[in-house]
Amino acid sequence: MAQRTQRLIEAARRPLPEGTFVVGAGLLVAGLSAYGFQILSFRALTEANYNALNGLWVFVFVLAPGFYLPLEQEVGRALADRRVKGLGGRPVVERAAIAGLVLTIILAIVAGAAAAGTPLIDDLFEGSTGLAMCLVIALFTYGTQHLARGTLSGSARFGSYGLIIGAEGVFRFVPCAALAIADVGDPAWYGLCLALPPAFAAALALSRERQLLTPGPHAPWSELSTNLGFLFFASISAQALGYAPFLGAVLVRAGDQATEVANFLAGVFLARIPILLFQAVQAALLPKLAGLAGAGRQDEFRTGLRKLVVVIVSVGGIGVLAAATLGPQVGEILFGKKFDLGHEDLALLTAGSSIFILALTLAQALIALMGHWRVLVAWLTGIVAFVAVFLASEHNRFDREAVEIAFIIGAFASAATMGVMLFIRMRAGIIPDDEALARLAEQIEHEPLEL
């Protein structure tokens, strides 16, 4: 045990975990292609159809990472643990596949019932049943992809892990470009460009692997249950808060606000550029913090976190300044002449995104200290704050400024709550914990994080 723990300590202390660069490359391709998809669809579709497409986008990227990312993390952790012990991982993946399939069927039934029994299709998808079907399809394809990603990361197949992330973006962007060139105006076709690529990317990445899974001892359900509840609810809460401006726009817009909402959604994507850049830092953040925490190196943990916070605040300040001065011009270059959102709006949205990144950073520090439940409480605090501020405004129509202020306050509430909890936790002292470090290092060395 001592040798195994020492090996994990050394792995967690490395400046960058194994696979950071290939996964970072995949994340970069995925991020750039996501912007390409948004730019092309904004230019090709009417404002109403673009809003409907983004209704699909928001629900896919809240539900899919929220529900499936914790399963991916647990599969990666369990497989990494078995690999260290020389045990085959096939039973773990089979268990996870059953759990993922059951979860997906339940989600698909709920989504189908909501589409059939509520005004969801008319209010959210502008009457497009095709987009509603794309939502159901996406649940199955993203469930498949996250299971494949957990299998690859837990097996240390980082080249294929990076490929699956980048390939999804390429498979989304290329057909979207073809649709835009062909002047296709039905948003359902663009919805398929969002819903189908995860399965194609998973198939491509898995096709290049050999002997990925080997037989092993029976896997009880408890093998997938380490902090799963906290991971599950914290993940979906973080996604919900991160996409709160989208939700606040697409759920309450009035019929005559299509143009205003479309410009706002495009502006939100511009403001999320700092979040895209943060992904490169995030991939190396948790392993370093977990290694310092597990080794009881409190001063280094505190110093490293402080420096990182200073960098994030500085970059966020530069981003807000850039949005306030050059934001509308950049938006017009990327999204075309019909883009129309002012300096103040872009500055406020970028401020909210920057504070959200700070909350993400503090969340990683808390997780490194095994504070999973504290992270969940902090995200829920931010959501409650956003909803409270949002509902205090006129919510029968979309109020751009109200959503922007609500997002800033919600993100700040989460960041402040995490900061207080982190301060309290660190005042109690970081006690070296070989077992906790072993669990964390196995998980994070072989399972890069994703925003």
CA atoms within 13 A on the CB side of 354: 21
* The pLDDT of residue 273: 78
CB 361 within 8 A of CB 308: yes
What is the DSSP track for 268-292?
Answer: HHHHTHHHHHHHHHHHHHHHHHHHH
Tokens matching residue 308: 């990182």
Average pLDDT over residues 244-263: 84
Cα diameter, the chain: 67
Q: What are the domain boundaries of the chain?
A: 2-445
Q: Quick check: 257 and 400 in contact, CB under 8 A? A: no
The pLDDT of residue 202: 94
pTM: 0.80
- Residue 128 token pair: 């497009």
Instruction: Flag the least confident range among 174-183, 316-325, 334-343, 442-451.
Output: 442-451
CA dihedral 377, 378, 383, 384 (to 10 degrees): 70
Give the residue-averaged pLDDT of 316-337: 89
pLDDT at 120: 72
Q: How far apart are CA 394 and CA 392, in angstroms?
A: 7
| Closest of 408, 22, 23 to residue 248, by C-alpha | 408
CA 385 to chain centre: 21
| pLDDT band for position 295 (cuts 50, 70, 90) | low
Q: What pLDDT was estimated at residue 394?
A: 64
For the residues 134-153, what does the mean pLDDT come to?
93
Say which range, 56-65, 73-82, 88-97, 417-426, has the weakest mean pLDDT.
73-82
Structure tokens at 367: 């997780």
Distance CA 289, CA 15 (A): 10
pLDDT at 366 over 50: yes
Residue range 135-164: average pLDDT?
Answer: 90
Tokens at 31, concatenated: 């991020």
> What's the whole-number average pLDDT of the chain?
81
> For the chain, what percent of residues have pLDDT higher than 70?
81
Predicted confidence (pLDDT) at residue 447 exceeds the cutoff of 70: no
pLDDT interval class at 215 (50, 70, 90): confident
pLDDT of residue 288: 61
Q: What is the pLDDT of residue 235?
A: 83
Residue 92's SS3 state is helix
| Residue 143, H or E segment | helix 129-154
